[in-house]
Each structure stands twice: as structure tokens, then as C-alpha cells.
Amino acid sequence: MSPLLEMKNVTIHFGGLTAVNGVSMTIEERQISALIGPNGAGKSTIFNIITGIYAPNGGHIYYRQEEITGKKPHQITGRGIARTFQNIRLFGELSVLENVKIGGHCKGRAGLFGALTRLPGVQKEERLIMEKARAALAVVDLTGREKELARNLSYGDQRRLEIARALASGPQLLLLDEPAAGMNTLEKQTLMQTVQHIRDLGITVMLVEHDMSFVMNLSDHVDVLDYGRKIASGTPFEVQQNPAVIEAYLGKEPLDLETD
């Protein structure tokens, strides 16, 4: 079976810095893949390239075997790729439901003009967006919290709300940038179940995460970056044994090798 996403020899420079350097990787459908590496390795930049925020200076990206290199973010979302960001990006003064509906609107066919005029098609689309938003909230276990203001949610709930917003666009590939960052143990366990639930729904997940026990317990496949280069790729067990990976983490941050 061909991979869902394929990156071939992708490179990007920021001034004199090569943040991503000839990286190739494949993301298999219906798997949970992790992208790990020390701070500054280029992980978020790869998400920014896949989602069209940055166009790479070299290389190619294929989604379902079609080239998407250099396409605009809304085109990428329209193809079925959604993401969350490393830092929380919620509208604190809007309700939980309103925050999620923003995700659904990204793919709405009536568009901005339609939203300004009350055409029947718009009402139908509005209902559809509402249904998608409620379904997305159910996936992250926030049903019943629709009317609460986003800022009043606990930190863990806010991070899952962001995932719901990404899900509301109906993605087949979901990119999560450090979803467990700042979470306590209980919040991480809940998040792990959420991510497994998402995978069980048939959505492919690619995650960047620093918490090694989270990554190793959850992932089918792991790619490792260091200074913009891919240094290892394999099962969680394989990358943990890899001397280049251990070396990359030495003296930078602890690599928790436990997989309980």
C-alpha cells in the first residue's frame, strides 16, 4: 500500500540556517507516527511545510500520491490535512462550541460571501458545521461543555478542544504539535486515549512530542530529527536502541526510555 504522506528530500533555509535538511519520510495510513528530536531540530518547521505555511526551498511532498508542495494552507486543509499548534491558539472569550465551529468553517463550501447572505444552502451548511462540531467534541470527550467559555476550561481540556477544532475540518491526516506539553500525568493519560480513539476512527495521526513515554507507548512508527536532519526511523523499540538517537539527546534533555 502506498503511504498517505510522503516527503522526499525536503529542505528549508531561514537566512543562513538550514532548519530542515534533505528530510525524507513516509506516513502510513491509519498509523500513529511520531516525529521526535531535541529543541530546534526542525519538527514544527516540518509541520509548517506540510500544512503550507512555508514553501520548502527544495524537495517534494506528496499526499495520496499527489504533489502538494507549495500549496496554500487552505488548499492543504481542503485535501484533508489538519493540525494543532505548539502553543494554545483558542479564542478564550468564545464558547467551546464556537471555537470548534471555526474549524468546520475552514472547509465550508458556501464561503465568506455565503455566510454574509442567508441563502438556504448556507443554513444547510451551518447545520452541517454544527453536526461536525458536535461530533468532534464527542471524540475528545467534551460533549456537554459546548456553552462554556474556552478560557474557563482546564489546561488539558483546552488542548483537547484544539484537537476538536482540527477534527471539525474532517481531516484524514491530523498533525499534533506537542499535544502533551504542560500536561499532568492524568491529562496525558486522557490525551493518549483521545489519540487512540482518533486513530481507531481511521484518521492517521502524526505527532511531535517531547514526552518519551507518551511517544513510545502510543506510536507505531518514530522518525528522529537532529539539527534538521533525519537521523533515525523505525519502531519505538528500534529508535530507542539507536546509538545516534541516544547521542542526539545526551546532554540536552533526558531521554526517558521506559515504556510501561
Q: Which residues bind Mg ion (CB under 5 A)?
A: 43-44, 86
**Ranges within 140-169 binding ligand ADP (CB under 6 A):** none
Query: Which position's Cβ is nearest Mg ion?
Result: 44
CA atoms within 13 A on the CB side of 211: 19
Q: Which option in ligand ADP, Mg ion, none does residue 165 bind, with CB closer than 5 to 8 A by kind? A: none
**Which residues are registered as beta bridge partners of 224?**
36, 232
Answer yes or no whether residue 39 interacts with ligand ADP by CB under 6 A.
yes
Give least dist CB 18 to ligand ADP, A: 9
Q: 94: which residues sit within 8 A by CB, 6+ positions away?
A: 149, 150
Answer yes or no whether residue 73 interacts with ligand ADP by CB under 6 A.
no
Answer yes or no whether residue 68 interacts with ligand ADP by CB under 6 A.
no
In 3D space, the residue among 172, 200, 2 whose CA is nearest the CA of residue 79 turns out to be 172
Binds ligand ADP by CB under 6 A, chosen from 22, 40, 58, 234: 40
Give least dist CB 4 to ligand ADP, A: 22
Count other Cβ atoms within 10 Å, centred on residue 233: 16
Give least dist CB 38 to Mg ion, A: 10
Binds ligand ADP by CB under 6 A, chosen from 14, 91, 155, 237: 14
Query: What does the block give as the cell for 127?
Result: 447545520
Give least dist CB 40 to ligand ADP, A: 4
Q: How buried is 201 (Cβ within 10 angstroms: 0-12 exposed, 13-18 middle, 19+ buried)? A: exposed
**Which residues are registered as beta bridge partners of 10?**
23
Q: Which option in ligand ADP, Mg ion, none does residue 39 bind, with CB closer than 5 to 8 A by kind? A: ligand ADP
Distances (CA, A) of 95 to 7, 129, 183, 190, 223: 37, 15, 22, 22, 37
The stretch near ligand ADP (CB under 6 A) out of 1-9, 34-42, 161-169, 245-253 is: 34-42
Binds ligand ADP by CB under 6 A, chosen from 4, 25, 37, 162: 37
**Ranges within 168-227 binding ligand ADP (CB under 6 A):** none
What angle (nearest 5°) sits at the alpha carbon of residue 44, between those of residues 30 and 68? Answer: 60
The stretch near ligand ADP (CB under 6 A) out of 36-44, 157-165, 184-192, 197-205 is: 36-44
- Which strands form 58-63's sheet, in the order they lie side by side? 17-27, 5-14, 58-63, 66-67
Binding footprint of ligand ADP on the chain (CB under 6 A): 14, 17, 19, 37, 39-45
